[in-house]
Amino acid sequence: MSIPRGRAWLFDNDVDTDVLAPGLYMKGPMEEMARHCLESVNPDFAANVEAGDIILAGSNFGIGSSREQAAQVLTMLGIGAVVAKSFGGIFYRNALNFGLLAVTSQADLQVAAGDVVSVDGVAGIVTNELTAKTFSCDPVPEHLMAMVAAGGLVPHLEQRLNAEREAN
Amino acid sequence: MGLTLAEKIIANAAGRDSVKPGEIVTCRVDLAMMHDSGGPRRVAPILERLNAKVWDLEKVVVITDHYVPAVDAESAAILDLTRKWVKANDVPRFHDMEGICHVVLQENGHLSPGMFVVGGDSHSPSGGAAGCFMFGVGATDMAGVLVTGETWIKVPGTIGIRWNGRLGDGVSAKDMMLAACARLGMGGGDYQVIEYFGETISDLSMPERLTLCNMAAELGAQTGIIAADQSTADYIQAAGGVSGAFETWCGDDDARYLDVHDFNADELAPQVAIPHSPANSASVEKSAGQRVDQAYIGACTGAKLEDLQMAARVLEGNKVSSSTRLLIAPASTRTTAEAAADGTLATLTAAGAILMPSGCGACAGYGAGVLAEGEVCIASTARNFKGRMGPTNSDVYLASPYTVAAAAIAGEIADPREFLS
């Protein structure tokens, strides 16, 4: 897949699923929920985020409930990748299953909010393109990167099954 | 370096000699369990979009438990959809209204030590009591499993919880878990595996072990697991299942644990978790005297045969207080039959308990027995999150069946040991 590249949004530790996908908007349309994504920790985020932007966060990003919307809402907003010290386990599964690149990095990422960064999940490299400094992140296996590139588990299976059917 | 039990099962399912925590591998799935809420109604549209069939029907178990019995047109339609999907797909193992999925799965011997199992429910860690690696997945993950028979997993590390000593009379597995939740906190499991061991665990029956593994979810773990021993094998065989070479499914002596937490059963008093988290647990005396409007004995962790027997021991010769009500929803229809045969039900109903259908029911705020605004309930369930059993201003206290029964008699939270002779 192409390497996600965009402006950095910085978040602290323990950004939970209720902050990402507030329960208050659970019954409404996803678009409405997207407008409130992360608003309790950064009210400017949803209105200003652009396709390809990258989230850099501390530990336990996405802790909390199993709601798939927490990952879905970030893909709707066009987030290119999330780099965090660690992830909530179910959120991590959901993110990759919805085509959102999520990588862990223990590096001291020297990135300021708004710096342009790129995330190479296969090579395991986060680059601050403003300063040209690179940092290591844990690489994602290629078969999972293929799933992410396809847009998630379901589209990936769709491609795979169609290819198998054409071959037969 | 040796492997923990969980790592061994994952390595086997991945077709590898070894795996390391943190690496991502793809595993063959031995069994996929779905229920009426997260099952066919959520996965069928994905299978239709993919125009794909289930990879191996022999490895699928479907159980209705969330919306049973139907209480309105919506729940009836969900059950109808589930039954039609099972029929259309010729799913051989379908348990319709036989009880709560985690209990029914074990009662029917569907789980064997060493299996790699996914369940469409957050309390799927229950399967760890049979020595399986079983964890909960969402509908998208489940659809992927149904199509391919595989799923990817980031190999979790293992945290040990070691219990030594003997439980006193009136103290049970639920008390052990509430104490663990209080010490480790709800994030203490860190999406790793909790493996339980020690002499107290060896002395526990399978249903009590199910309660421990089930509530690994409350510690934030990916799952819980207990290495199979002779009592596991006996239970599985009696249930008509296959225990196989269960002795081989244990951790290596030099396996690496992220941490081991030690607990002592000798000193453990009955525990009560105050609203709104299982981690708010402390000895029963801290909440003694708290009024209760409803006492509820139900759920996978709190209404198996042994749980009903615990309640019956407290209720024997006593009456439910006129200031409260006691609702009992046995975990399965088999539980009900066995409790009827051994006299447990007669003791419960003579004390004034109201019997309810088997299912997830009030525990998850679905079925009959939900609370009114401002009401207080003490329940033998696993979770007391805000609003789980009714309005957000209703309160749920968690405790063992012994303690719930004692509260039903007293009309307020009380130490169950005062009622045991």
For chain A, the structural domain boundaries read: 5-167
* ipTM entry: 0.84
Question: What residues of chain A have any CB closer than 8 angstroms to a CB in chain B?
Answer: 60, 63, 66, 68, 88-90, 92-94, 96-98, 138, 140-141, 143-144, 152-154, 157-158, 161
Q: At what angle do helices B139-148 and B40-50 cross, to 10 degrees?
A: 50
CA-based nearest residue in chain B for residue A86: B190
CA-based nearest residue in chain A for residue B137: A90
How far is CA A140 from its chain centroid?
Answer: 13
Instruction: Give the count of Cβ contacts less than 8 A between chain A and B.
Output: 62
pLDDT over 70 (residue A1)? no
At a CB cut-off of 8 Å and minimum separation 6, what does B74 contact? none
Q: What per-residue string of b and e applies to B318-336 under the rule 16 or more CB within 10 Å gives b?
A: bebbeebbbbbbbbbbbbb
A161·B147 Cβ contact <8 A: yes
Q: Give yes or no for B38 touching A (CB within 8 A).
A: no
Choose among A92, A143, A154: nearest Cβ to B154.
A92
Contact A162, A134 (CB under 8 A): no
Q: Is the dihedral of CA B232, B234, B240, B243 positive or negative?
A: positive
pLDDT over 80 (residue A48)? yes
Structure tokens given for B233: 């094998």
Query: What is the per-residue pLDDT across B334-390, written as a single tens digit (0 to 9) for each?
Result: 999 999 999 999 999 999 999 999 998 888 787 789 999 999 999 999 988 888 888
B191·A98 Cβ contact <8 A: no
B24·A89 Cβ contact <8 A: no
Choose among A63, A94, A152: nearest Cβ to B138.
A94
Instruction: Tell me the backbone φ, ψ of residue B134, rounded to 5 degrees.
Output: -130, 130
Lowest mean pLDDT among A158-167, B159-168, B207-216, B356-365: B356-365
Residues in chain B within 8 Å Cβ distance of A141: 24
Percent with pLDDT over 90 in chain B: 90
Model pTM score? 0.93
Distance from CA of A130 to the nearest CA of B (A): 31
Query: What is the per-residue pLDDT across B97-136, written as a single tens digit (0 to 9) for each?
Result: 999 999 999 999 999 999 999 999 989 999 999 999 999 9
Its CATH architecture, for the domain A5-167, is Alpha-Beta Barrel (3.20)
Distance from CA of B122 to the nearest CA of A (A): 8
Structure tokens given for B159: 């945290």
Burial of B73 (C-beta count, 10 Å sphere; 0-12/13-18/19+): exposed
B140·A68 Cβ contact <8 A: yes
CA-based nearest residue in chain B for residue A142: B24
Local confidence band at B392 (pLDDT 50, 70, 90 cut-offs)? confident
Task: Please tell me the predicted confidence (pLDDT) of residue B364.
Answer: 77
The CATH superfamily of B271-419 is Aconitase, domain 3 (3.30.499.10)
Q: Which helix (H) or strand (E) holds B282?
A: strand B281-283
Closest of B93, B153, B144 to residue A93, by C-alpha: B153
Q: Give yes or no for B188 touching A (CB within 8 A).
A: no
The mean per-residue pLDDT over the stretch B166-193 comes to 95
Contact B404, B396 (CB under 8 A): no
CA A69 to CA A23: how far, in whole Å? 10
CA-based nearest residue in chain B for residue A66: B138
Instruction: Tell me the backbone φ, ψ of residue A85, rounded to 5 degrees.
Output: -65, -40
B46·A92 Cβ contact <8 A: no
Residues in chain A within 8 Å Cβ distance of B24: 140-141, 144
CA B377 to CA B407: how far, in whole Å? 10
Instruction: Tell me the backbone φ, ψ of residue B51, rounded to 5 degrees.
Output: 50, 45
Q: Give yes or no for B191 touching A (CB within 8 A).
A: yes
Distance from CA of B50 to the nearest CA of A (A): 6
Per DSSP, which regions of B147-278 are E strands?
Answer: 150-154, 158-164, 193-197, 223-225, 259-264, 271-273
B138·A66 Cβ contact <8 A: yes
Contact B332, B361 (CB under 8 A): no
B140·A98 Cβ contact <8 A: yes
Neighbouring CB atoms inside 10 A of B394's CB total 22
A66·B136 Cβ contact <8 A: yes
Count the residues in chain B.
Answer: 421
Which residue's structure tokens are 């993950």? B141
Q: Which helix (H) or strand (E) holds B133?
A: strand B133-136
Q: Residue ranges of the domains in chain B?
A: 5-263, 271-419
User: How distant, in Å, are the alpha carbons of A16, A74, A105, A134, B214 from that of B153?
Assistant: 21, 22, 18, 28, 20
Q: Give yes or no for B51 touching A (CB within 8 A).
A: yes
**Mean of the per-residue pLDDT values for chain A?**
93
User: Hey, do B5-263 and B271-419 end up sharing a CATH topology, with the first three levels equal?
Assistant: yes
B140·A88 Cβ contact <8 A: no
Query: What is the per-residue pLDDT across B302-337, written as a single tens digit (0 to 9) for each?
Result: 999 999 999 999 999 999 999 999 999 999 999 999
B144·A97 Cβ contact <8 A: yes
Q: Give yes or no for B141 touching A (CB within 8 A).
A: yes
CA A10 to CA B375: how far, in whole Å? 42
Per DSSP, which regions of A17-115 are E strands?
Answer: 54-57, 81-84, 101-104
Contact B380, B362 (CB under 8 A): no
Q: At what angle do helices A153-167 and A142-149 cross, to 10 degrees?
A: 100
Task: Please tell me the predicted confidence (pLDDT) of residue A24.
Answer: 77
Q: Give yes or no for B143 touching A (CB within 8 A).
A: yes
Contact B301, B404 (CB under 8 A): no
CA B160 to CA A58: how far, in whole Å? 26
CA A61 to CA A20: how far, in whole Å? 10
B143·A153 Cβ contact <8 A: yes
Indicate the SS3 state at residue B220: coil
Closest of B1, B75, B72, B88 to residue B35, by C-alpha: B75
User: How distant, in Å, are the alpha carbons of B119, B170, B174 from that of B61?
Assistant: 9, 35, 27
Query: What is the per-residue pLDDT across A81-122, written as a single tens digit (0 to 9) for each?
Result: 999 999 988 899 999 999 999 999 999 999 999 999 999 999
Q: What is the dihedral of CA B33, A29, B47, B57, to 10 degrees?
A: 10
Burial of A163 (C-beta count, 10 Å sphere; 0-12/13-18/19+): exposed
Furthest CA-CA distance within chain B: 62
Burial of A52 (C-beta count, 10 Å sphere; 0-12/13-18/19+): middle
Local confidence band at A37 (pLDDT 50, 70, 90 cut-offs)? very high
Distance from CA of A115 to the nearest CA of B (A): 29
Structure tokens given for B379: 């329940």
Interface-testing mutation among A63, A69, A157, A164, with chain B (most B C-beta atoms within 10 A): A157
**Mean of the per-residue pLDDT values for chain B?**
96
A157·B191 Cβ contact <8 A: no
Residues in chain A within 8 Å Cβ distance of B222: 89
At a CB cut-off of 8 Å and minimum separation 6, what does B149 contact? B28, B29, B55, B56, B59
CA A146 to CA A141: how far, in whole Å? 9
Contact B113, B249 (CB under 8 A): yes
Q: What is the dihedral of CA B66, B72, B77, B80, to 10 degrees?
A: 70
Query: What is the per-residue pLDDT across B40-64, written as a single tens digit (0 to 9) for each?
Result: 999 999 999 999 999 999 999 999 9
B140·A60 Cβ contact <8 A: no
The mean per-residue pLDDT over the stretch A44-63 comes to 95
B144·A92 Cβ contact <8 A: no
Contact B324, B353 (CB under 8 A): no
Task: Please give the CATH topology (third level) of the domain spanning B5-263.
Answer: Aconitase; domain 3 (3.30.499)
Per DSSP, which regions of chain A are E strands?
Answer: 5-10, 54-57, 81-84, 101-104, 116-120, 125-128, 133-136
CA A161 to CA B72: how far, in whole Å? 39
B46·A154 Cβ contact <8 A: yes
